[in-house]
Structure 1
Amino acid sequence: MAWRRDLKVRLTLRIVGVAAFCFAAAAAYVLFEADRSMRSRLDRMTEVAAKDLALQHGKRAWIKDPAPFFPDLEVLATGVLAPGLCLGYRDAGGAILQSFCSGSQDDDPPALFAFVYTALFDPGRESARSVVFQGRTVGAAIAWGVPLALTAQAWHEVAHLLAIMILTLLLLCVLVYAALARALRPTQAIHAGLERIAANDLSARLPAFDLAELSPIRDVFNHLAENLQASLAERTALTRRLIDLQEDERRHLARELHDEFGQNLTAIRALAMAARETAARDCPALLPECGGIARITADMMESLRGALFRLRPPDVEELGLAASLEGLIAGWNGRSRDRTRFELRLEGNPDALPPAFGTSLYRIAQEALTNAAKHAAATRVTLRLSVDAAGEIQLTVDDDGGAGDNVPAGGAGMGLLGMRERVATLGGRMSFETTARSGSVLRVAIPFDPVRAA
C-alpha cells in the first residue's frame, strides 16, 4: 500500500508507538505503585490492630470484671478500613474469630484484565501481625484485600488513564503528521526538480531550505544541474559541429564522385557506344559484349545519381523544405517499383522554419525513410510533418512492417543514433515504438520560437 511507503506516516506511527509504550509504562507504574500502597496500608492496619488487640488482652487480665466479648475490632475497623479491604483476628488455633470488610461499588472489570492483574499482583494475599501478650503469641491480626474489588479499582484507574492515552495519541497523530508534512514540504520541491531534470530541463534549481539537513542536498543538486547543463551545452555544440563537418564531407565526397567517377563512367559509356559501332562494321560477334558494357555503365551511372542525391540533396534553403520532402518521397516511390507506397502529409508552413531546422528535418526524414524501406518490409510508409503555430514541430514516420524487422539499424546514413543527435541539437525529443500489428512509429517533437522563425 502507498501509505506504508509514506515517510510521514512511518515517522508518525513510530512516534505514536513510542508514546504508546510510554503510556503503557506509566500505566504499569501506576498499577505497581497502587499495589505497593495497598500492601503498605494492609501492613499498617495489621500493626495497629495487633497493638489494639494486645491492649484488649491486657484489660482482660487486669480488670476483675472484663468485657465478655473479645476481640472487639468494630471501632478500629471503622477508622482504618478502605473499600475492598478486610480486617480480622485469627486465634492461636488458626480460627478467624472476627472480621470486617468494606465493600466496593465498582463494576466488574474485563475478564482479561482481571486475569492479568490477579496473576501479577495477587490482590487477595493477606498481611498478618502477631498479637503478643506477656511474651506469648495469643493470635494474629490479619488484613487482606477482596480480589474482585481491588481488581475493579485498578481497572477504574487504568480505564481513566487509557481514555486519556487514546485522546492524547489521536491528538499526537494529528500534530506530528502536520508537523512532519510541514517539515518535509521541501521534498516536494526536490521531487519537482528531479522531474524537470529527468525531462531534460537542466535549468531547474532548488531554492534555499530552512532545514540544515536539506541544505547540502540543495547545494549538490544545483551543482550537478549546472554541470549537466554545461556538459550538455558543450555536447550539443560539439554535435552541431560534427554534423556540419559531416555535411561538408558529404558535399566534398559528392563533388569528387561527380567530377571524377561520373566523368569516367560517361567516358566508358561513350567508348562502349563507339566500340559497338566499330563491332557492327568489322566484328558483329562483339556486339553483345559492347551492349553489356553500355548497360552496366548505365546502371552504375543510375546508382551514382542515387548516391549523389543522398549525399547532397536538393538545397533546402533554395527549394524549401516542403518541395525537398516531396522530391524525397517521389524518389523513393520511383525506386520502390510499387513494392512500397510512400506518402507525405504536411500541416502548417514548413518553409517558414529556419534553415538549420529545415536541413536537420530533411536529414531525419531521409534516414527514417531509409530505415523503414530497408528494415521494415513494409507496404506503406507515411511521413507526416506538422508545424504548429504555437511553437512545436512534429515529424512522424510510421509503417505497416513486421514487428521483428522494423528495428532501425545503423546502415547507410547516420542511423538511429545520428537522428537522436540531430534532434538533441535542436532541443527536441524522439521516440521509437514497435508493435506486432501496426508496425513501427518514429516520433520527433522539436520546440521552436515562431516569432524568431517569422
Structure 2
Amino acid sequence: MVSLRAGLSWLIGVALLATLLINLTIQLIHAGPRVRAEAGSNLRLAREFVLTTIANLPDNDNPAPILRRLYANLGSLRHVDIKVLERGESPPPRWSAADHPNDAGPPAWFVKLVDVPPPRVILAPIRVRDSDFGSVAIISNPLDELEEIWSDMTWLASISLVVTLAIIALVLLLVRFSLTPFGALQAGLADLEAGKSGVRIAPRGASEFRQISNALNSLAATLDRVRQENRDLVNELIEIQESERKEIARDLHDEAGPCLFSIRAAAVSLQDALAHSPPNLERLRQISAIVDRASEALQSLVRGLLGRLRPKGLSELGLKTALESLFASWSLSHPEVDLRLLSPHDLSSLDETTAFAAYRLVQESVTNIFRHAKASWAQVSVTFGWDKVDETGEGEAEEAPTLTLVIEDNGIGIAKERRSGMGLLGMFERVQGLGGAMKVERRDGGGTRVIVSLPIRDEEEQDCE
C-alpha cells in the first residue's frame, strides 16, 4: 500500500509532468507553421534586398566580385543563404544542415517530427547593360528558426524539471512535517489497544489532527472511567457476595446449628427412651415435639435462604405474584412508606431471564427508596409497551415489544451533580446486558423517577439459549 507521502509526491510530480508535456506539445504543434511563416517572410525580404542591390550596381565589366564582397561583408543571415553563381553555374541541388555545421542544432528526429519545409531557391539574374553576368541564388534556411524553437523547448523542459524536483522536495518536507502527529496518534491507539490507562495525546499540528487528538483523549478518558467503574462494580459485587456468604454462614451457624443439635439430641434421647421396656410414651411425645419444632425452624431457615437467593414463586407463579409477595413483606417491615404496585397486564408469559431482571431492578430501586429517599409514598408500574429498536444497526428503527418499569417516589430526589452509586451502576449494567434502556430523572413534584425498558424476547431467542 502506497503511503500518503509517496502518493502526494507522485500526484504532484505527475501533474507537473503532464503540464510540461502539454506545453511542449503545444509548441511542437505550432513549430511547423512558425518555421514556414518565418522562412517565407525572410526569403521575400532577401529577394527585395538582392534585386535592389543588383539594380544599383555600377557599370563594370563583371559585377560578380563586387556582389560577393558585399554579401560576404553582410555575414551570416538568419533563415536565408545568398550565393553568387557564375554564368552557367547551377544552384545546389539540395540544402542540408551539413552545409552549416552547428553543435547546438536540433537533432534529426526533432527536425523530422516538426516536418520542416524543404528549402526554396530563388534565382535573381545579374544583368548590367543587357549583359548576363550570372545570377544570385537565395536559399531559405529554416533550421535557424528551428534551432530557436529547440532551444526554447530545451530550456523550458530543463527549468520545468528543476521546478518539479524542487516542488516535490518541498512537498515531501511539508508532508513530513505535517504528518508528524500521526506517529503520536498511532502510538496512542496502540496503547489503547493494549489496555493502558491514562493515555493522552498532546494536540498539535493542523486543526484536523487537533480534533482527532481531542476525540482520542475523550475516548481514552471515557475508557478509563468505564474501567474504573467496572473495577468498582466488580469489587462491590465481590463485597456483596462475601457479605451474603457471611450472612448465610451466620444464619446457618446461629439457626441451623441449634436446630440440627436439637434433632441429634432428640435422636439420642429417643434411643434411650426406646431402650426401656415398656417405653415411656409421654417421653416419646416430648421428643417428637422437639424434633418437629427443630425441623420447622430449619425448614423456615432454608425457605428464607432460598428466597434471598432466588425470588419465591418467580418461576412457578410468575413476576406479578413474586412482586406482590415482595411488596407484602416490605409493607410489614416498612410501614412508614405507602407502597403501591400497578400491574394491569398478565406477566406470566414473560421469559425467566426478563422476569428475573425486572424483579431485581424493582427490588434494588425500592431498596434505594427505603435507604436514601426519605419518601412517604412510592409506586411501581409494570406494563407492556412498544419502543423503537434499531436491530439491524443501519439506522432503521422498528417497533418491538418491551416490558416497561416505572419506579417513582416523593422523596428528596436525586442530586443533579451526584455520581451514580454502585446500586444504580449495577442496574445500568443489568439493563444494558439485556439490550434495554434505563433513565433516572427528577419528578416535577419532587422525588425520583426510574424508567426501565426491557426488550421481550420471542420463543425462538429463548430456544437458542
State the TM-score bracket (shorter-chain normalisation). 0.3 to 0.5
Structure 2 length-normalised TM: 0.41
